[in-house]
Amino acid sequence: MAERVLGELIDRVLEACESDRNKARGQTRPSITVGMEEPIAWTVLWGLDGNRYFSDPEYYLAHSLRAKLWRFENVEDDSPIGPDVPAWLGHYPEYTFFGMDVSFNRKGVPILQRDHPMTRDPDMGLLSPVDFDTSGWMPRARKWHEDLMALCEGRLPVHFIGWNRGCLDLAIQLRGYENFVLDTVERPEFTHDLLRFLTDQRNAWYSAYVERFGTKLGPTWINDDWIYVPYITPRMFEEFLLPRYLDMERHHGVVGGVHSCGNQAPIQRYLLEIKTLSTFEVSPWTDLEQTVANVPAEKHLHIFVHPNDVLVASDLDMASRFRCIRELCDGRSYSVGTSGLTPIFEGDQEGELLRRIRRWLRLAHRILRG
């Protein structure tokens, strides 16, 4: 039964990928996209079990394909459906490489260990080099990838996990936020050593990755949610983080993007020193007007709107926001997308969610492309 269901889902995904409707997506500018908070949104809509999602490969594959089809069939944005299956294990597998525990509740919300021995002792001897075969979840990640490839039977490409976290998020999880901030003042050399070690391990992991899978090093994307002024200062970014980001750029050749849910505007002048960074993310907490002033017009801006701008805002508020974006970004390359959406309604969750998504898309198309 499971094989038949998976086969039917794969058939439907491949058919959707080849459809004229899919091939027409993403051809108009500015691009307008909708993001879902995965897997949390599916736990609300479908009762998905977040723990099982990351432990049962058949369950994971079936619901991943179902989510692809749901988006394609219900959300008319500029995101085409693709055949790729990420062998995803959530947002934080890298934490396990350094001995930190990561788990999930039934909603798929990650639970991160906060009491690594390094939170009590700023000792680099507490960290070991990352081994591509044995560190943390690496054996689990390899088995997960193999199981998903076997289930797909060569019909869909399955991608191994990536190392997405930057050195800042890892350092703060290892030391704790207050300790890390004190370190930058009281133990700056230790802070440099820690961030350099974490970055070197990331780069070495990617070198092992390409050797294992016979690929080539390509662009890298850096996720550091603690890039959030005032939680860190622009000076801290310039002194401690920028050198490490440049190390990653040298290793990969290109930094495709730097993600943070926080306020990046005060450090954008330093991000400009990453010469290959062609797209600047503008989170809901980053001022767009200041970004347009800070970032040269030849750089693309991807503007994320807050979930409340989709799920709660009135038509009037939405329209005002879109007009502001259009006016500020006139003449330059930009795209607009939602941050991850999770249903927050009573009653018909799916129907209400889709109604509000479609209203947001309708206004976006009319004002941004009108």
φ/ψ (deg, to 5) at 313: -60, 150
Sequence letter at residue 213: F
Q: Is residue 158 a contact partner of residue 149, using CB atoms and an 8 Å limit?
A: yes
Q: How many CB atoms lie within 10 A of CB 274?
A: 17
Cβ–Cβ contacts within 10 Å for residue 351, how many? 11
Q: Which of 209, 168, 211, 213 is nearest to 191 (CA)?
A: 168
- Residue 1 is predicted with a pLDDT of 46
Which residues is 159 bridged to in the sheet?
A: 86
Neighbours of 152 (CB within 10 A): 17
DSSP 125: G
DSSP 219-280: -EEEE-TT--TTTS-HHHIIIIIHHHHHHHHHHHS-EEEEE-SS--GGGHHHHTTSTT--EE
- Which secondary-structure segment (H or E) carries 86? strand 85-86
pLDDT at 2: 73
The H-assigned helical ranges of the chain are: 2-17, 20-23, 40-46, 50-53, 57-74, 93-96, 138-152, 167-175, 177-186, 188-213, 234-236, 242-252, 268-271, 288-294, 308-311, 315-328, 349-368
Cα torsion through 97, 113, 111, 196, rounded to 10: -50
Residue 154 CA to residue 186 CA, distance in Å, equals 54
Alpha carbons 313 and 338: distance in angstroms, whole number:
13
Sequence spans of domains, the chain: 1-31+39-162, 165-255, 278-370
How many whole angstroms separate alpha carbon 146 and alpha carbon 160? 9
Q: What is the pLDDT of residue 3?
A: 76
Q: What is the pLDDT of residues 138-151, one digit of tens each?
A: 999 999 999 999 99
Q: Which residues of the chain have a pLDDT value below 50?
A: 1
